[in-house]
Amino acid sequence: MKRLILVFILVLPITALASSGGVDLQTANNNLHDKKSLQRGAGLFVNYCMGCHSLQYMRYQRMGDDLGIPTEVLEKNLMFSAEKVGELMTISMKKADAEKWFGVAPPDLSVIARARGVDWLYTYLLSFYLDSKRAIGINNQVFKDVGMPHVLWKLQGWQVPAPEEASAEGHGHQGAGLVLKNRAQMDEKKHHESVNGYRRDVRDLVNFLAYVGEPMQLERRVIGKWVIFFLVIFLIVAYALKKEYWRDIH
Ligand code: HEC
């Protein structure tokens, strides 16, 4: 038993590292009570992500109600493929097509903030960089050989691995050890604005995904209760059966 515990203690940090590609995760610092941030995040999500990723358990109406977005604004600015506010936030891309295009279908993101954690998502979206060794031309520090293109490049610009001496500067701004490709053409002020602007966009997006995961968690808890209920009933049945079988043997 002791040895088993020891193995656990030794292996745990390794698995934690493996999930982030060995990169230190940056803190998202998102705030679920900040409505403005959630609204901006929703806008960014439908514009930049919903071409490929669905939120299949979320309805437009519910999102509008929760985030305080009036129905007219919702219909005009946030609904591209849906007709009615009561619809689920699904997408029309077919799984088979997506696999053909990207090698792997983009997953539904309803519970991604729970599965990966907000810090992982935040760091992931900061960590795309140009990589000529890959067919799609980009890579990601926390998701090696990712199949997703850097869809936010218009907001962030392109990053490249920083030369050794500059990596200290890259750290804490963008993905660790990455710098903007056109960094040399930017003065301090412009660089600062660009980096902070993108960080804010990503923070809002992550905040929105964290919000989306919340109601889903409630649903999961309800399902969990049913599962336990079922297991208890099953235990009683199994026990009764056992007694029945053994009656003849005794
Ligand atoms: C052009 C299609 C496309 C768009 C647009 C897109 N993605 Fe993706 N995304 C993908 C694909 C494909 C994958 C699967 C990557 C893999 O497994 O290699 C993916 C994976 C992800 C993952 C990792 C899921 C996991 O396995 O843990 C996250 C998080 C993610 N996308 C977030 C976003 C966000 C946020 C946006 C909007 C800013 C976005 N994506 C826009 C195609 C897209």
DSSP string, 109-162: -TTHHHHH-HHHHHHHHH-EEE-TTSTTSEEESSSTT-SS--TTHHHH--EEEP
Average pLDDT for 197-202: 97
pLDDT the model gives residue 131:
95
pLDDT of residue 205: 98
- Render pLDDT for 37-91 as a digit per residue (tens, 0 to 9): 999 999 999 999 999 999 999 999 999 988 989 999 999 999 988 889 999 999 9
Take atom 15 of ligand 1 and give the residue whose Cα is closest. 147
| pLDDT computed for residue 171 by the predictor | 47
**Centre of ligand 1 from the C-alpha of residue 107, in Å:** 7
pLDDT of res. 87: 93
Summarised one tens digit per residue, pLDDT across range 155-181 is 999 999 987 655 455 444 455 789 999
Q: Is 117 in the pocket of ligand 1 (CB under 6 A)?
A: no
Model pLDDT, residue 116: 95
Q: What is the pLDDT of residue 214?
A: 83
Contacts by 14-19, CB closer than 8 A, 24 or more apart: 19/120
Question: Mean pLDDT in the chain?
Answer: 87
Q: Does the CB atom of residue 146 touch ligand 1 within 6 A?
A: yes
Q: What backbone torsions phi and psi does residue 97 show, to the nearest 5 degrees?
A: -60, -45
Indicate if ligand 1 lies below 6 Å from the C-beta of 52. Answer: yes
Instruction: Report the chain's terminal Cα–Cα distance, integer Å.
Output: 36
- Domains, in order of start, for the chain: 2-229 (1.10.760.10)
User: pTM for this one?
Assistant: 0.80
Note whether 122 and 203 are within 8 A (CB): yes
Q: Is the pLDDT of residue 198 over 90?
A: yes
Task: Please state, for a pLDDT cut of 90, what percent of the chain lies above it.
Answer: 66
Q: Residue 49 phi/psi, 5° resolution? A: -115, -30
Q: Which residue has the higher pLDDT, 24 or 175?
A: 24
User: Does the pLDDT of residue 18 top 50, yes or no?
Assistant: no
Identity of the amino acid at 119: D
Specify the ligand 1 atom closest to the Cα of 146: 18
Which residue did the predictor score with more confidence, 86 or 7?
86
Of 160, 90, 87, 154, which is closest to residue 127 (Cα–Cα)? Answer: 160
- Taking Cα atoms as reference points, which of 24, 48, 178, 174 lies closest to residue 106? 48
Pocket probe for ligand 1: among 52, 120, 202, 212, the residue whose CB has the most ligand atoms within 8 Å is: 52
| The two structure tokens encoding residue 82 | 């849906």
Instruction: State whether the beta carbon of 116 lies less than 6 angstroms from ligand 1.
Output: yes
Q: Which of 144, 148, 156, 205 to mutate to test the pocket of ligand 1 (most atoms within 8 A of CB)?
A: 148
CA atoms within 13 A on the CB side of 90: 11
**Residue range 91-104, pLDDT digits in tens:** 988 889 999 988 89
